[in-house]
Structure 1
Amino acid sequence: MDKKIAKPRWKQQLRPVVIGMLALGIVGVAYGFSQHSDTAQRQHVSAQGLQISTVSQGQFADTLAVRGQVMPKTTIYLDSIAGGVVEQRLAEHGDFVQKGQPLLRLSNTALQLEVMSREAQVTEQLNFLRNTQMTMETNRLNLKRDLLDVDLQIRQLTRRLQQSKQLQQHNLIAAETLAQLQDDLKFYQERRKLALEQQAQENSIRAQQLAQLEDSARMLQTNLQLARSNLDNLLVKAPATGYLSELNVEVGESKERGARLGQIDLPGEYKLVVQLDEFYLNQISRDMPVQLQLDQQAVEASISKVDSRVTNNQFSIEVALPASASTLRRGQSVDANIVLGAAKADATLLPRGAFFASSGGNWVYVLSSDGDRAERRDIRLGKRNQQFFEVLDGLQPGERVITSGYGSFDKATVLSIE
């Protein structure tokens, strides 16, 4: 017969203890989770330091506030044409210079020797051309003289032949003498034809050669003038009247051919150069109106150029400034508003603030009517100008919004304001 084995007493007491500890652990975990969740959703903040703005309704001007730098509209650069060593500065940075005024003098020994050698070559070639022309003219005169001799012989033989024919009728001269005169006359007549043909051919060839020689002479003279002009370029002169805004040379400094020496800004014509974020690249175009404040007066201008090349996340535009803005100076900074679109007369407006950096304009904290708490609410913003955001959805006029930064409580959904 089997005997029932009783469990030890300590084992009987262990089971309720384990169950109780598990239950307590579950309760503790649930309590801790609830406490953590409540902390993540609700946060106590001090009213001190909060910037609170009221949503309003009014006209929204679709403008972009920018700041640009005044630059001359037309700049003429001075480059070294011949190159050389700076021998003398004849003007200083910032001077107002007249067209043709000497600015600096360069020296170039190698260029001077080259020009002297070229002058000698050109002189030699010109002398050769002149000698050739003289030879051709001598040949022309010799041919003309031969033709005159032939004509003289023909006239004399003709006259003797007529006399001989009369004498032969009376048998006073021999028939052989008459025949000899006739042969001589025929010979000179044929020789005259040949001389005339040679003269015509010589005239044709001579006309072509003279034209070629004259072209060669003009080309040589042009080359000589260019060679001499290189020496003249060693004295750098102002190509236009204006302000010498840059002169990057020092006495004794060597400048290569094509090196930048300085620049001249034409007076009375300016433009405003503005750097914009690439975000606005699709919104900016030529001839857009721009509002300026110059000499405490509102001035209307327009965008004259858009450079769409993006560098360091920015692109540049140019605004043509009116000629009446005579007090402007190169490098001066000017504030302006670019009119991106027509103004809206009845828009919901939210003042701009640091909250945008944290929420990206997708949500804000809206205060309750008593101002003791603020709830996180999703919104949708449209365009923005210097003062306001255009609210498309999520806010109503009269509501109050925290517009200061959300960096310390951007995870909470409810703020308790103390």
Structure 2
Amino acid sequence: MDRKITPSRGPAIKNAVIATLLGLVLASAAYALSHGDSDRVQQRVDSATLMVTTVQAGAFEDTLRLRGSIKPKTSIYLDAISGGRVEQKLVEQGEFVTEGQPLVKLSNSALQLDVISREAQITEQLNFLRNTQMTMETNKLNLKRDLLEIEHQINQLQRKVKQAIALEKRDLIPKDDLLNLQQDLSYYQKRRQLTQERQQAENLIRQAQITQLEDSAKMLDTNLAFARQNLDNLLVKAPVSGYLSDLDVVVGESKTKGARLGQIDLPGEYKLAVEVDEYYLSQVQLGMAAKVRVNGRLIDAITTKIDSRVNASRFTVEIDLPGDLAGIKRGQSLDVDLVLSSPQDNAVLLNKGAFVNDSGGHWAFVLSSDGHQAHRTAIRLGKKNATVFQVLEGLKPGDRVITSSYSSFDNADELLLN
């Protein structure tokens, strides 16, 4: 009986191993041929695609380039002192208004009724005060009249007593009549003294009451004037002259007491509001110098306010602008350089470029003297401004550095330039 013979796999495996080893040998030979004896990774690059910058020596200005928005230096807000319904809009947003010019007319029936009620109450109270004063004057006059009558009685009794004494000595009248007259005279004299004391006491009390009544009358008049002023406030007027930059009112809508109606900006006074990264919060100081670019020229200015509240990793700095600047408007954006420190002379400077995004500023490709090669060189960068880095180590003036992006260099150590 015939038997099937299975071919052995040993020779095939042997051949595969030999082919793999041969491939590794050929790859190693190719790598050695292309790189020679050096371990450095080389890469050929077209020099036309590179940006090369020469390291310079000069003064380094520690500035921070930012962009700010022009805002009015002084703004006056318009609020509804007395709430009400918007009846009439007398001006439009953006117009120049003068002090005292009517802007918005409101109506408030409840306030009008309240003022009328207050006027009635205050008028009634004033009338009561006047009546009280009249009563006090009447009592004063009555007291004077009583005192006058008492004086009259005393004078008559004194005359009768004198006559009676003479008649009694001649026994022409009974002695009891003389005693009665003397008793009546003594009574009216004591009554006169009591009336005078009462008059003095009432004068003091009356003077204090008159002072209180006059103060009450003044207070009532003040309250009435205040109530009428609330009614007058329904006609909103411009508190100052300036540009009405905002007017948020629509005829027919209701505005509550204290609601914001608009804003008036004083003319010729502007400031620059700049948002700065919170990294510079400790470096920015009041009075710090700034250079603002306006219509192609640099304007010297200083920081006047720092709002240290951080919002979305940024804080706000305000810079006052000269009042004689022409051609600027509210909301316009301007470039500004904040001068963080004094200029440093004889610094090593390297132009800014995309290379720092790939190297982190720790290394850069420096061209050889013949310009055919670029070697990876360790460097250390310091401060930066809008255009240059301050080089602390690794470069010297005259070195040529590739400052374009390194993202396509595949971790090369040396570039061969075509």
Over residues 239-260 of structure 1, what are the superposed CA-to-partner deviations in whole Å (9 max), with x where a residue is unaligned? 0011111111111111111111
Tell me the residue number matched to 2:385: 385
Over residues 31-66 of structure 1, what are the superposed CA-to-partner deviations in whole Å (9 max), with x where a residue is unaligned? 99999x999944444334321111111222222222
Q: Distance in 1 between matches of 2:146 and 2:68?
A: 87
Tell me the residue number matched to 1:234: 234
Is 1:256 aligned to 2:250, yes or no? no
Matched ranges for 1:103-122 at <5 A: 103-122=103-122
Secondary structure at the aligned position of 2:199 is classed as helix
Tell me the residue number matched to 1:52: 52
Q: Distance in 1 between matches of 2:120 and 2:411?
A: 89
Tell me the residue number matched to 1:404: 404
Tell me the residue number matched to 1:315: 315
Q: Distance in 2 between matches of 1:87 and 1:74?
A: 29
Q: Structure 1 residue 83: deviation in Å?
A: 0.9
Q: Distance in 2 between matches of 1:311 and 1:89?
A: 37
Q: Distance in 1 between matches of 2:316 and 2:327?
A: 24
Secondary structure at the aligned position of 1:153 is classed as helix
Tell me the residue number matched to 1:168: 168
Name stretches of at least 5 consecutive residues in structure 1 with no aligned partner. Answer: 1-9
Q: Distance in 2 between matches of 1:334 and 1:129?
A: 67
Q: Structure 1 residue 411: deviation in Å?
A: 3.5
Matched ranges for 1:9-408 at <5 A: 41-294=41-294, 296-408=296-408
Tell me the residue number matched to 1:4: none
User: Given that residues 40 and 411 in structure 1 are in contact (C-alpha distance below 8 angstroms), is that contact kept between their aligned partners in structure 2?
Assistant: no
User: Given that residues 364 and 379 in structure 1 are in contact (C-alpha distance below 8 angstroms), is that contact kept between their aligned partners in structure 2?
Assistant: yes
- Relative to 1, partners in 2 of residues 1:33 and 1:108: Cα closer, same or farther, differing over 3 Å? farther
Q: Distance in 1 between matches of 2:86 and 2:410?
A: 65
Deviates more, 1:362-371 or 1:185-194: 362-371
Q: Distance in 1 between matches of 2:263 and 2:386?
A: 37
Over residues 91-117 of structure 1, what are the superposed CA-to-partner deviations in whole Å (9 max), with x where a residue is unaligned? 111111110000110111111111111
Over residues 165-198 of structure 1, what are the superposed CA-to-partner deviations in whole Å (9 max), with x where a residue is unaligned? 1111111111111111111111111111111111
Q: Structure 1 residue 309: deviation in Å?
A: 1.4
Secondary structure at the aligned position of 1:64 is classed as strand
User: Given that residues 40 and 414 in structure 2 are in contact (C-alpha distance below 8 angstroms), is that contact kept between their aligned partners in structure 1?
Assistant: no
Tell me the residue number matched to 2:413: 413
User: Given that residues 364 and 402 in structure 1 are in contact (C-alpha distance below 8 angstroms), is that contact kept between their aligned partners in structure 2?
Assistant: yes
Q: Structure 1 residue 293: deviation in Å?
A: 3.9
Q: Distance in 2 between matches of 1:41 and 1:158?
A: 145
User: Given that residues 354 and 403 in structure 2 are in contact (C-alpha distance below 8 angstroms), is that contact kept between their aligned partners in structure 1?
Assistant: yes
Deviates more, 1:365-374 or 1:133-142: 365-374
Q: Distance in 2 between matches of 1:28 and 1:168?
A: 175
Amino acid in structure 1 at the alignment position of 2:261: L
Amino acid in structure 2 at the alignment position of 1:193: Q
User: Given that residues 65 and 337 in structure 1 are in contact (C-alpha distance below 8 angstroms), is that contact kept between their aligned partners in structure 2?
Assistant: yes
Q: Structure 1 residue 375: deviation in Å?
A: 2.7
Secondary structure at the aligned position of 2:49 is classed as coil
Q: Distance in 1 between matches of 2:410 and 2:232?
A: 73
Secondary structure at the aligned position of 1:405 is classed as coil
Secondary structure at the aligned position of 1:207 is classed as helix
TM-score by length of 1: 0.88
Q: Distance in 2 between matches of 1:411 and 1:194?
A: 121
CA RMSD for the aligned pairs? Answer: 3.1
Q: Distance in 2 between matches of 1:293 and 1:385?
A: 16
User: Given that residues 364 and 401 in structure 1 are in contact (C-alpha distance below 8 angstroms), is that contact kept between their aligned partners in structure 2?
Assistant: yes
Q: Distance in 2 between matches of 1:84 and 1:285?
A: 46
Q: Structure 1 residue 388: deviation in Å?
A: 0.9
Q: Structure 1 residue 407: deviation in Å?
A: 2.8
Secondary structure at the aligned position of 1:145 is classed as helix
Q: Structure 1 residue 410: deviation in Å?
A: 6.6
Deviates more, 1:265-274 or 1:378-387: 378-387
- Relative to 1, partners in 2 of residues 1:170 and 1:32: Cα closer, same or farther, differing over 3 Å? farther
Amino acid in structure 2 at the alignment position of 1:86: V
Q: Distance in 1 between matches of 2:108 and 2:276?
A: 46
TM-score by length of 2: 0.88
Q: Distance in 1 between matches of 2:255 and 2:162?
A: 89
Over residues 108-156 of structure 1, what are the superposed CA-to-partner deviations in whole Å (9 max), with x where a residue is unaligned? 1111111111111111211221222222222212111111111111111
- Equivalent pairs counted in the alignment come to 407
User: Given that residues 54 and 400 in structure 2 are in contact (C-alpha distance below 8 angstroms), is that contact kept between their aligned partners in structure 1?
Assistant: yes
Q: Structure 1 residue 27: deviation in Å?
A: 8.2
Amino acid in structure 2 at the alignment position of 1:69: S
Over residues 341-365 of structure 1, what are the superposed CA-to-partner deviations in whole Å (9 max), with x where a residue is unaligned? 2222211010011122233322222
User: Given that residues 79 and 262 in structure 1 are in contact (C-alpha distance below 8 angstroms), is that contact kept between their aligned partners in structure 2?
Assistant: yes
Deviates more, 1:25-34 or 1:174-183: 25-34
- Relative to 1, partners in 2 of residues 1:62 and 1:208: Cα closer, same or farther, differing over 3 Å? same
Q: Distance in 1 between matches of 2:44 and 2:400?
A: 18
Secondary structure at the aligned position of 1:138 is classed as helix
The percent of aligned pairs where both chains have the same amino acid is 54
- Relative to 1, partners in 2 of residues 1:347 and 1:172: Cα closer, same or farther, differing over 3 Å? same
Over residues 189-221 of structure 1, what are the superposed CA-to-partner deviations in whole Å (9 max), with x where a residue is unaligned? 111111111111111111121111111111111
Tell me the residue number matched to 2:4: none
Deviates more, 1:81-90 or 1:297-306: 297-306
